[in-house]
Chain A
């Protein structure tokens, strides 16, 4: 009978160890996915930062009266690559609004609207904006899944023991909820 008890004991311990390993690995997986999602956003914000001077230079030649709008973009631009995550996302939202007015501006300057360089910049900036939006969406989705996993029983016991912290989602201003749709 000692044997039976021993076998059951070993089996229970084995199951617990396997459970701990599986849980730990899946939490690690989620943590890496969150990091990956953020680095995606990071890459796209940098890309936006790099594209903006080109856009400003192209537009400058055609629309000299729009100095104010262009200066606003340039100012917000530096925020894209510095500051906290939420700061950078906020700067991006601001830039998005200004870029919309620059693209709308092209309507009143037929030469600018026909400029190949401007068109391809417009497409690139639109795509970059969409990529930021999608990465943000993915980031928040991953964070939500991670938090749900972390905070449900029995994972929470292990998560607290191994110091897995709750992650925060990126906040989006109310008016920005919808993905911008750009018609060509």
Chain B
């Protein structure tokens, strides 16, 4: 079951990549059509941007996330218990020992990054380390290691990069449309409308898909964490404590918000579930864990 999960995840990555590429091509076509009455140029420009933007984001993602969040690598001497807990779970999950980072922030939260297990990084806020006991900390660490083992970070990084490309293209497209008068009397009105809808709607579609995938990954990581610890109680208590804290993680950005164990920003607002939420509602996660 263990290896099958990784397989399906890798397949989903490919599927998602093709789906997003199609969207990129669609937006490219729409822009080319709207601006120049020439669909091919738009598609080519879109693919060229994709070919540059995607690998750059992909390769720099880990270091960017870490520097953006203000996380610092810590030693075993500074945090012996944290090291011990992560080491234990690495045995249970047969993962190489990740690097351990700590974020100086009172809001309890954690995230993992690293495109493959050998380059894994787990980061915890000081608030989390102070609030949770050993058992709960193990639950959170297991959740983060689950993201690493399931290759979720690779999936999410590609998602973020693709959403970025589509946003850039759509932005570019709308500017061009309003910036210059079009002389394309020959274009078909139906196609014109379709193209317009594409440019306006596809950025939302891509963002929606990205967040839906992200929410799904959280459930899966919770389940995998229990597979490692064989003890849902620790994670349940941890999630309850984390969701009870109304403080935001100060250095969390909307681009990185999906990576945390619970949403790090906008925590004071009541609205917890929506189509554009980065995380599923905490009650649902806890309920699923209780049913395991």
Contact = CB atoms under 8 A, between A and B. Distances in A.
Interface of A: 33, 40, 120, 123-124, 126-127, 130-131, 134-135, 137-138, 141, 145, 178-179, 181-184
B82 to A, nearest CB: 11
A120 B80 contact: yes
Given A123-B80, A179-B229, A130 B133 contact: no
A184 B91 contact: no
Contact of B133 (A127, A141, A184): A184
A123 B81 contact: yes
A183 B134 contact: yes
Nearest to B229: A179
Contact of A134 (B88, B133, B134, B233): B88
B94 A184 contact: no
A131 B80 CA distance: 15
A92 to B, nearest CB: 15
Interface in B128-145: 133-135, 138
Interface string B91-115: 1101000000000000000000000
Q: Which of B2, B80, B91 has the most CB of A within 10 A?
A: B91
**Chain A contact residues: helix, strand, loop or mixed:** helix
27 contacts: A120-B80, A124-B84, A126-B134, A127-B81, A127-B85, A127-B88, A130-B84, A130-B88, A131-B87, A131-B91, A134-B88, A134-B228, A137-B92, A137-B230, A138-B91, A138-B92, A141-B2, A145-B2, A178-B231, A179-B230, A179-B231, A181-B233, A182-B134, A183-B133, A183-B134, A183-B135, A184-B133
B84 A135 contact: no
Contact of B135 (A123, A134, A181): A181
Nearest to B92: A134
Contacts of B135: 181-183
Interface in B30-86: 80-81, 84-85
A65 B16 CA distance: 66
Contacts of A40: 91
B140 to A, nearest CB: 15
A66 to B, nearest CB: 25
A131 B87 CA distance: 8
